[in-house]
Amino acid sequence: MGVIIKLEDGVKFVADSLCFPSNPCRITRVNALSLLKCIQILHKKEHSFPESFSRKVSQKWLKTNAGAGYRSPDQCCLFDAEWKKYLKPTDGPFIDETFYGSEINSFRKELNAIGVIVDVGKGCSLLANNLDSHSDLGTITRIYNFLKEFNWKADAEADRRIWIPDGSENGQWVNPTECVLHDKDDLFSSQLYVLDKHYDRKLLGFFAIALGVKSNPTVGDFCKLWKVWESSEHQLSSGECCAFWVCVMKHWSSKTEALLADCLVKLPVDSGSDGILLFDRHDVFIADDLQLKDAFEQSSCGSIFVWYPLPSLPALPRTKLLEIFSKIGVRTISESVQKQELSVEEGVEFKQVKPRDIYILTKHWLSSFLAF
């Protein structure tokens, strides 16, 4: 009668008329393994699969681990001993061996042919794209180490995300531009996510190379922090002030000069025991004349001279710092005070006065100058 009774003879009809149910949950273990067996036989026969078969087999029908549900072949991996060196079966969209049984591993070649990732080195992009389905720090760290091992680099903005943990199972995904590897002065905890507080040193290089995370806060980051200090009327410590200006000096250029001139509204003034205050940069001066400096400090309620560290620091020499202040618009006290010699007319008599009266007169004159 011509009826085909052997599997080997009838597999071609499977390839020609394959049809999956709309709900992949209805595909049993036996169904899936039988299909893979048919594909195996057809490969041995060097069968040419029709385009319709490739299209249908690309649907979501393979059950995976880690809550990934059913996936298309190109969106899952086959876990084996090689993968086990780096990951656990629940770390990514691996085919669920608990569901299919160990027999699924005998179809490695067939699974690879329909798009399943079986080679460890080819799974980086898929594991990276699946990262945001996790919230366990241990799992995420294993995946990062796996990606590092195979020199993976993000090739799309969507791949660029870093987990910032809050405990072992909570946290948030953030953009690498919001992160920095180190914050040695501990100033940016409210502005940037500092990765060396959360990850092992071996992973920090990976974050820099693969995801473009900057090693340290930039001058731009420091300027944003300075704006926060300006608006909050924050009294700076010497350490905070030094950290800012050391960074500025280290990266000084015409671009940095333009950035500071545009960004900084207030500059540091040493107020003694009260710490370092920030005053409008048009109201502060560089003390280039010691006599005028002493006179102003005795006559005014507080200092009007820009801060500099005492003693001068190797990384922040006083002359260089004052030069920077000058370049961003701070005036020297000598150029700001107009000196005029008064001639004594004939017949004018001099009168001896007490030193205290001279001080009162000087104080009045300087106060008038400041008000002007």
pTM: 0.81
pLDDT digits (tens, 9 = 90+) for 224-241: 999 999 999 778 999 999
Q: Which residue has the higher pLDDT, 287 or 346?
A: 287
Stretch 122-149: mean pLDDT, rounded?
95
Structure confidence at residue 302 (pLDDT): 63
Residue type, 221: D
pLDDT digits (tens, 9 = 90+) for 35-44: 999 899 888 8
Stretch 84-110: mean pLDDT, rounded?
96
Structure confidence at residue 368 (pLDDT): 44
The percentage of residues in the chain with a pLDDT greater than 90, rounded to a whole number, is: 64
Collect all residues with Cβ–Cβ distance below 8 Å to 304 and sequence separation of at least 6: 269, 279, 283, 284, 285, 296, 370
CA 292 to each of CA 281, 295, 332, 363: distance values in angstroms, whole numbers, following the listed order: 19, 5, 11, 12
pLDDT digits (tens, 9 = 90+) for 137-177: 999 999 999 999 999 999 877 678 999 999 877 899 999 99
Confidence of residue 363 (pLDDT cuts 50, 70, 90): very low
Compute the distance between CA of residue 74 and CA of residue 343 in angstroms, rounded to an integer.
96
Structure confidence at residue 356 (pLDDT): 41
**Range list of H helices, the chain:** 7-17, 29-44, 51-57, 81-84, 97-100, 108-113, 124-129, 137-149, 201-211, 219-232, 238-250, 254-263, 290-299, 318-327, 333-336, 355-371
Structure confidence at residue 355 (pLDDT): 39
pLDDT digits (tens, 9 = 90+) for 78-92: 999 999 999 999 999
